[in-house]
Structure 1
Amino acid sequence: MTAEQLTMGVEEEFLLVGEDGRLSGFGPEVVDATEEGHGEVEPELKRCQVEGVSDICRTPEEVLEQLTGLRGELAAAAGKRGLRLLPSGCPVVPETGEQEITPNPRYLRLAQWFGATARSLATCGCHVHVAIPDRETGVVVSNRVRPWLPVLLALTVNSPFNGADTGYASWRYQEWSRWPSAGPPPMFSGLDEYEATVDTMLRAGALMDRAMIYWDVRLSERHPTLEFRIADVAAVPEDAVLLATMVRGLVARALDTGGPPPELPQAVLRANLWRASREGLTGATLHPVTGELGPVQSQVDDLVEHLSPVLGGDLEFVKAGVARLRERGTGAARQRAAHQRRGELTDVVDALVVTTRST
């Protein structure tokens, strides 16, 4: 099994902001006005959000073309209303109140049941789908990839601000963890236990429906895929493509590996994810294999080595992407660098917003 044999797709969530960097509630209108040429665009839970969904892709180059095109199309539609498309995991400048829920019956029920957890959140993630043979196999893959989730999060942090510097590289991950169904997936003995756990959460009211399974890795309810939900939305599409390519490699490696999955207690994994969300690529976590505390930078190298047997032609792409990310810094590092120049949060917004349309 090589990674190139598996298809992949990416979903990116964005914030809409005005010239002052504050959130704008015209998401559904911007979606309706978008001239689609790549993938699909959709509204999100909050009116200040929009989403771009790629088509099924087979190469990193296809993913890059799709994401660049979707960003450009959404930015163009936003621009017609004097708005801008902001690829940040959290709002940057301070907001004076809660953002309106998109008037979709499901979203309105969700907001009523989950209260402030739903009403106060305006976070944006990047979700990667990778094709799997069947749901039983998907559970096996989820078990195998769990230890590497903190490294993926550290690579993709892009939300240090939420009206002020939060002290975290990914504040989105902290905010999102408030949902009762969020966080790392448990270890499952098989599909039966996975389904029984979901059914129990539904009966308990912690899930309103199966679409609310918000684990960092989950079986998709709409597609024959395993969906990785660990990452902040990327500052630039190249970072999202690097994530998607590495995630596809992780799935391929898991499909190619025999024996029992790695033993990693849920509490330890949660601790590692907390540390990764706080420090990002420049920090340290417990190594996913040895359990020793060490720099994330070296664990990224170990992850690339772990994936190299299955990456095939994607290997050089991944190595180049990791080198580029280290040189430029994560989205969080770039946000803080933009802020440091003058101490103005609006400079962060200006540095991030999508300004051109793909052709």
Structure 2
Amino acid sequence: MEQIPTFGVEEEFLLVDEQGHLSDRGPEVVEASARPDGDVQRELARSQVELASEVCQDAAELLDRLTHFRSRLAGEAGKRQLRLVATATPLLAEQHPPGITPTPRYRRMGEHFGLIARTGTTCGCHVHVRIPDRATGVRVSNHTRPWLPVLLALTANSPFDGGRDTRYSSWRYVLWSRWPSAGPPPLFASLDDYESRVAALLEAGAMLDRGMIYWDIRLSEKRPTLEFRISDVTATAREAATLAALVRALVLTELSELDWPPPRVPGEVLRANLWRAARDGLDGSALHPETGRLTPVPALVGQLVERVRPALTHAGDLDFVTESLAWVREHGNGAQRQRRAYARRQELCDVIDLLSLH
């Protein structure tokens, strides 16, 4: 088994007022939350706040850091009579939604991409796993991309948007897919192929800079990591740590199998499978990454765990992941729990209460 890579997580949250409507004070909360033990950043929308964990060794350590950072951000929001909400799309309808964060880059994005940038605020969870080099990262992306629908279905946490049930489990993924540089990564022939496709997107104006490589798996431009951007922000820190442990175990597993050719899932088939995962979440089925047969998602989650079990054991995360997934099986993922909270009284304020950080 390969050496265990370090990992970390970035999480994006919505900032709302006491009634649950989006607030434009995200930059203010970011400035007040800055500390040397983690990274808090502005995001495209003024109603968003992003945190980045430290580099971690195992899932338990990551959970501790995410819990700490979430609590600190929630505290800064609370001082301003605001709340941070761990959902991937805004719950309530907004008559005058907050605008774009006023930095030169974000203003340029707003002008270039119009309503794609100015509407459809979404919050994701991004997992970074250290890789030996960029060429190896491209090969790992090729091997792991067929499992993206399973990871999306497991973490779906955005069934409501603008006061309506979207009939999707991850409406964030649908909205995010509007960006011309988003979606599942291609099957790359090499690192040079990766770079040539990036250059073509830049030349076409589909991206303004390399920070806009929005594929669901990409090489990080700032860190020696492979970044998985497939998931909604999760309702709990433990779910985020569990996702990260699964992703790292998948990377570790594929690192040991790079001599085998990757599954050649066509881009259009993978995109269709991701749409289905976004719609149905844990309640649905998806194409098996290896056989192509339609399989219930809970069974696919179990098969993913079995596939990466040696890596989870090697990393010391097996018990953590097993216990977390047992909890999700009993209580549901974020989308299921949101709908259950809403069903009690048909009030979205109950969903906001469920998802507000403390």
1:40 Cα deviation from its structure 2 partner: 1.4
The equivalent residue for 2:307 is 306
* Greater mean alpha carbon deviation, residues 255-264 or residues 92-101: 92-101
Q: Name the count of aligned residue pairs.
A: 354
Aligned residue type for 2:343: Q
* SS in structure 2 of the partner of residue 178 of structure 1: coil
- 1:85-234 aligned at under 5 Å gives the runs 85-162=84-161, 163-234=163-234
Distance 1:266 1:37 in 2: 41
Give the aligned CA root-mean-square deviation in angstroms.
1.0
Distance 1:76 1:8 in 2: 26
Cα deviations by residue, 1:240-290 (Å, 9 ceiling, x for unpaired):
000000000011011010211011011110111001000101110111111
- 1:332 lines up with 2:313 in the alignment: no
Distance 2:192 2:34 in 1: 43
Residues 24 and 47 in structure 2, CA contact (< 8 A), matched pair in contact too: yes
Cα deviations by residue, 1:292-342 (Å, 9 ceiling, x for unpaired):
111011111110011012222222222111111111110001110110000
Cα deviations by residue, 1:68-102 (Å, 9 ceiling, x for unpaired):
11111110110111000001000011111342111
Cα deviations by residue, 1:123-157 (Å, 9 ceiling, x for unpaired):
00000000000000000000000110000001100
Residues 35 and 73 in structure 1, CA contact (< 8 A), matched pair in contact too: no
Distance 1:115 1:35 in 2: 31
1:13 Cα deviation from its structure 2 partner: 0.2
1:36 Cα deviation from its structure 2 partner: 3.1
Distance 1:77 1:302 in 2: 41
Residues 159 and 171 in structure 2, CA contact (< 8 A), matched pair in contact too: yes
Runs of 5+ unmatched residues, structure 1: none
The equivalent residue for 1:278 is 279
Aligned residue type for 1:270: R
1:37 Cα deviation from its structure 2 partner: 6.7
The equivalent residue for 2:9 is 10
Q: TM-score w.r.t. structure 2 length? A: 0.97
Change (3 A) 1:37 1:350: farther
Residues 34 and 40 in structure 2, CA contact (< 8 A), matched pair in contact too: no
Distance 2:330 2:37 in 1: 30
The equivalent residue for 1:347 is 350
Distance 2:90 2:245 in 1: 27
* SS in structure 2 of the partner of residue 288 of structure 1: coil
Residues 38 and 66 in structure 1, CA contact (< 8 A), matched pair in contact too: no
Cα deviations by residue, 1:17-51 (Å, 9 ceiling, x for unpaired):
01111000000101111263741111111110001
Distance 2:343 2:214 in 1: 34
The equivalent residue for 2:59 is 60
1:5 Cα deviation from its structure 2 partner: 1.3
Residues 14 and 86 in structure 2, CA contact (< 8 A), matched pair in contact too: yes
* SS in structure 1 of the partner of residue 214 of structure 2: coil
Residues 147 and 264 in structure 1, CA contact (< 8 A), matched pair in contact too: yes
Aligned residue type for 1:105: P
* SS in structure 1 of the partner of residue 182 of structure 2: coil
* SS in structure 2 of the partner of residue 106 of structure 1: helix
Distance 1:204 1:32 in 2: 35
Aligned residue type for 2:240: A
Aligned residue type for 2:318: L
Distance 1:229 1:303 in 2: 18
1:352 Cα deviation from its structure 2 partner: 0.7
Aligned residue type for 1:283: G
Name which of 308, 316, 320 aligns with 2:319.
Answer: 316
Q: TM-score w.r.t. structure 1 length? A: 0.97
Distance 2:144 2:61 in 1: 24
